[in-house]
Structure 1
Amino acid sequence: LPSGSIVEAARQMLRADEWYAPLTDEERRLLGVLGLEDIIHYILEKHMDKLQRPVSDVMETKIVYVEPDTPIYKVWQMMLSRRLAALPVIKNGKIIGVIAEHDLITHGFTRPDFESSSGHRRGPTVGEVMSTPAVTIEPDTPLSEAARLIVERDIGRIYVADSSGMLQGVVDRSDVVASWLKAMGIRPL
């Protein structure tokens, strides 16, 4: 894609609140799928200087989280109702892991409606399924480092924690791309 097309694709994806978009030719034939991670990869190659601000400047601080003893059915409810693909797992204020849709599906919890609270048994909990340790960065980390980790680890978001592990915020792919557009003098939405 030409760089102008990348900027426009990024704006449209952010406007639609989507991480993926189809790429088509003039006849609207599907050529492939563009992901925000592809745009971030482009940014890291061509515009890394635009991502030097600390993650604390762009991170979301209102974070939905779960604890290790949270039942899986509640995780699905939270993810679906809030359109979240992952949640941090917190114990005593510290991030100890992440539970993502991928973790749930990998462990066979593929039907959220059936992972319910009905019956006498409580069912599996987050602590049995979560990924550990969580990939975290500190608040003063440059956004370019967060972007690099998101691309290298193929993760949708990276959590921000202080040096003692206390959760401070989260930066996702959309935050990285929106920050880049703003640094380029372009309104993201």
Structure 2
Amino acid sequence: MHATPHIVSDVMTHTVVAVGREATFKEIVRTMEQWKVSALPVLEGEGRVVGVVSEADLLPKEEFRDTDPDRYEQLRRLSDLAKAGAVTAGELMTAPAATIQASATLAQAARAMAQRKVKRLPVVDETGMLQGIVSRADLLKVFLRDDEDIAEEVRREVVAYLFPAPLSPIQVTVEDGVVTLSGRIRDTTLVPVAARLVRAVEGVVDVEIALMGPGRHPDLDPDLAGPAPVPPKAEAAKGEAAK
């Protein structure tokens, strides 16, 4: 039904560079430099993800290389000091790894990255085996979608569903990902629903609603009509009585 990516498997990178638990510090640095990545999944066995080693895990070795932290600093940064003395991926890695499954939605992946404060997530199957990796940049790919593709999906998935018989044709325009809906509809209580559904279409940057309800006619709506006009004869009689 939907023509755009909705799950992690649609945007993830399938070829992943990883290291084993016994990878040395220098091997990790060389691998990051060679592949231009800032983090590596750490695997064991046939490919089960047990952790992630990142540049942040490596930096304490340089930070504490020529310093002698005082007692307070030692207690405050026990984890970093431990990593400063680590020499293998198993000792350096952050575990357990923050991972996500290929069937997760892009919104779920974005929330997971925000909550865990990471830039990428290893993608695993139900048993924890590595399937790929998804990054922040991958999640942003949906915003490269063509405006007309977005408009077509909005017409098909939102307008046709919510407003099958509008009072006037619903116009859908998209410019730089911003969707505008205009026209007359029978039930204006559906406007918030329409806005929510349009915003859920992938690639949509923002939504502007210019939908109006049925027009009102004074001859049909008594509350719109002004005071009833006074007949000419009655007005004349009123004038004579005032003399």
Do the two structures share a fold, i.e. TM-score over 0.5? yes
Contact 2:8 2:103 (C-alpha < 8 Å) held by counterparts: yes
Runs of 4+ in 1 over 4 A off after TM superposition: 183-186
- How far, CA to CA, are the matches of 2:18 and 2:10 in structure 1? 21
| Partner deviation per Cα, 1:3-53 (whole Å, 9 max, x = no partner) | xxxxxxxxxxxxxxxxxxxxxxxxxxxxxxxxxxxxxxxxxxxxxxxx971
Alignment partner, residue 227 of structure 2: none
**Pair 1:182-2:145 in alignment:** yes
Contact 1:87 1:98 (C-alpha < 8 Å) held by counterparts: yes
Cα deviation for residue 149 of structure 1 reads 1.2
Alignment partner, residue 160 of structure 1: 123
2:37 to 84, 89, 96: 84
Contact 2:7 2:105 (C-alpha < 8 Å) held by counterparts: yes
- How far, CA to CA, are the matches of 1:154 and 1:128 in structure 2? 21
Give structure 1 stretches of 5+ with no counterpart: 1-50, 111-122
- How far, CA to CA, are the matches of 1:142 and 1:154 in structure 2? 18
Alignment partner, residue 58 of structure 2: 104
- How far, CA to CA, are the matches of 2:59 and 2:146 in structure 1? 37
Give structure 2 stretches of 5+ with no counterpart: 64-85, 150-175, 177-202, 204-243
Alignment partner, residue 24 of structure 1: none
Alignment partner, residue 23 of structure 2: 70
SS at match of 2:123: strand
Cα deviation for residue 72 of structure 1 reads 0.7
Alignment partner, residue 17 of structure 1: none
- Using the size of structure 1 for normalisation, the TM-score is 0.61
- Using the size of structure 2 for normalisation, the TM-score is 0.48
Contact 2:11 2:141 (C-alpha < 8 Å) held by counterparts: no
Percent identical: 35
Cα deviation for residue 109 of structure 1 reads 4.4
Alignment partner, residue 13 of structure 2: 60
- How far, CA to CA, are the matches of 1:136 and 1:179 in structure 2? 21
Number of matched pairs: 126
SS at match of 1:99: strand
Alignment partner, residue 95 of structure 2: 132
Contact 1:52 1:144 (C-alpha < 8 Å) held by counterparts: no
**Pair 1:147-2:110 in alignment:** yes
- How far, CA to CA, are the matches of 1:52 and 1:82 in structure 2? 26
Decide whether aligned partners of structure 1 residues 52 and 76 sit closer, same or farther in structure 2, where only a CA change above 3 A counts.
same
Higher relative contact order (CA 8 A, sep 6+): 1
- How far, CA to CA, are the matches of 1:169 and 1:138 in structure 2? 9
